[in-house]
Structure 1
Amino acid sequence: MSTRLIILNDNAPSKGLLNDWGWSLLVEGNYRFLFDAGMNPLVLAHNSKALGASLKGLDFVVLSHWHGDHCGGFPYIAELNPGIPLYAPPGNKALAMRWGFDAMEVLKAGEIVPGIWTSGPLDGFEQAAGVETPSGLVVIVGCSHPGVDRLTGAVLEVSGYKKAHLVMGSFHYPSPGTLDKLAAMAEFIAPAHCSGNLAKAYVRKRYPGKFVEVKTGSVLEV
């Protein structure tokens, strides 16, 4: 069974959909979970309906880090899925509980559920997720403040994979050197959110066979 990756919000817009500064990705495979929730719950509500991607009945949710452009939509998600686990770095467990989640503080790298891993919070701040798919390991990052290469490496280490099939999400205006390191670890690269146009152009030019263009509403099957 293939895994679907549905971008509910990215900085880059699509016709007929709403978008805002932020990042949110719905994963539909052996488990259905949301990675980050953007800034605006109205964006999630509109786009999930337009894309036919229900946000009810999720198995759990994952937060990369506690910045508003990644966690702003979570109260809406908790309303739709009361009591589901939220796997998040430490710092706001009480807030997550007030929203209505079963707040699970992630303190180290490990397996969340079979076939899905967390890097653990690098620098005590931000985590990435790894998802086992029929095509290989997909690494999902939020903003990559600690470095997309470091986060990807941490997911590879905990999952036991030697290379990622795809790394997608925000790379936080990375240097060419960081992108070169990432390219050595991934078959495909999908920069989004605050990766920046220079990073996208660099990957497209230097690694044309690896570059995957994504935006709000993109759906990838892996």
Structure 2
Amino acid sequence: MAISQTVDRLVVTFLVDNCIEWMTKLPPGFTHEIRQHLNDQEPPIDSLTGVPFIDLENFCCGAHGFSALIETEVNGSEPHYTLFDTGPDSRSLVRNIAGLQVPVDRIERIVLSHWHSDHSGGMLSFLRLRGPVSAPCVVDLHPSRPIARGIAPLDKIIGRLPADPTFEQIEEVGGVVEKHSEGHAVAGGTVWVSGEIPRVTAFEGGFPGGVRWVGGEADSEGKWVKEEDIMDERYAAIDVLGKGLVIFSACSHAGIVNVVKDAVAKFSRPIHMIIGGLHLAGPELVERIEPTVNFLANQMRPAPTYVLPMHCSGFAAKVALESALGQGCVPAGVGIKVEVNGDGDGEQMMFPPCSRKVNLQT
């Protein structure tokens, strides 16, 4: 039995990302932000020239974090809206939502991928945006919220990350907290949210230098402990008719190969698209790039149609993916919209995916 419902239409709008991309030619189904402002909205007409006025005050800004609006639809029914992560702060998500005219009151659920502030920082501001008569917004969270997290490369603490919202703060601004450590379907059964991701590869070792504060909220006797696995991280998956899985992995601390292997094991469906941060940036992660790209491009059969390396993927990983996948590596960024439509004929020709060894231990 399927663990989630196959959808006929998926629309993704990127609300927060490190990159802004306006110029590169995109594949079919992808739309630059500037075209959305000109075609989907009603820009003012310039009185001097008589053409639409492109007001950059209304365009998205980049920020170090991730947020994506996921719209799913089955058989022409009313779509479901899910917000996957909320970016790093109170400003970027709010600004970009306004510029893209996002229907905030129709968003049913926030899914937080993991407890890091570059993914949770905009949550409270988003909830405050919603109108007083809006239906309650569920906030889907892993129950293991850390008191604090920090960064400690070479075992030297260099900084504490901003605090994530507490369960109480979320409820105070109208969120309905749901805690999940196991996989479950949301959005009318159209979006699968994973549980904790099994670590099975040999080369994906978590978040180097990750530490967690253990002790009370005001406990001076607390201490930092090493925490590189980030076991509260979760991915989301949508199964599109005749296309396969679209995977959202916001930061991939678990490793994107671990994520993909878990999704394929659960769904027995090919991967159509991989979206999000692959966490391959930084000198300590360079050695993971080659085996990751090798798996995605050479071991997976069929290979993903598209990989969208975003947020924390890093320049070197993007270059390697573009070299291996060509136009299958899409330079996505904040403001871009992606539409994936189901294909009934294609569904009849789909086979379960497989992987093969290519001189690589995983």
Higher Cα radius of gyration: 2
What does 1:73-222 align with in structure 2 at a 5 Å threshold? 73-79=122-128, 80=130, 83-92=136-145, 94-95=167-168, 96-112=170-186, 113-122=188-197, 124-134=231-241, 135-158=243-266, 160-173=267-280, 174-183=288-297, 184=300, 186-222=304-340
Question: Residue 293 of structure 2 contacts residue 324 of structure 2 at CA under 8 Å; is this kept in 1?
Answer: no
Alignment check: 8 A CA contact 1:10 1:215 kept: yes
**Structure 2 unaligned runs (5+)?**
1-7, 22-55, 74-79, 146-165, 198-228, 281-287, 341-362
Percent identity for Structure 1 against Structure 2: 25
TM-score normalized with structure 2 length? 0.57
The one of 46, 64, 74 equivalent to 2:113 is 64
Residue 21 of structure 1: SS of its match in structure 2? coil
What is the alpha-carbon distance in structure 2 between the residues aligned to residue 34 and residue 67 of structure 1?
A: 16
Q: Distance in 2 between matches of 1:83 and 1:2?
A: 25
| Counterpart Cα distance in 2 of 1:18 and 1:62 | 22
Q: Which moved more, 1:95-104 or 1:45-54?
A: 95-104
- Return the letter of the residue paired with 1:77: F
3-state DSSP class of the match of 1:208?
helix
Q: Give unmatched runs, 5+ long, in structure 1.
A: none
Alpha-carbon spacing, 1:4–1:141, altered in 2? closer, same or farther (3 Å): same
Residues of 2 paired with 1:98 and 1:153: CA distance?
38
138-147 or 9-18, which moves further after superposition?
9-18
Deviates more, 1:205-214 or 1:7-16: 7-16
Q: The residue matched to 1:60 in structure 2 has which SS? A: strand
- After TM superposition, the structure 1 stretch with the greater mean CA deviation from structure 2, 194-203 or 98-107, is 98-107
Kept in 1, the 8 Å contact 2:308–2:332? The answer is yes
d(CA) in 1 for partners of 2:250, 2:120: 11
Q: Could you tell me how far 1:168 is from its partner in structure 2?
A: 0.3
Task: Give the alignment's Cα RMSD to 1 decimal.
Answer: 2.0
Question: Over residues 155-182 of structure 1, what are the superposed CA-to-partner deviations in whole Å (9 max), with x where a residue is unaligned?
Answer: 2333x24211101000001522123223
- 8 Å Cα contact 1:82-1:101 kept in structure 2: no
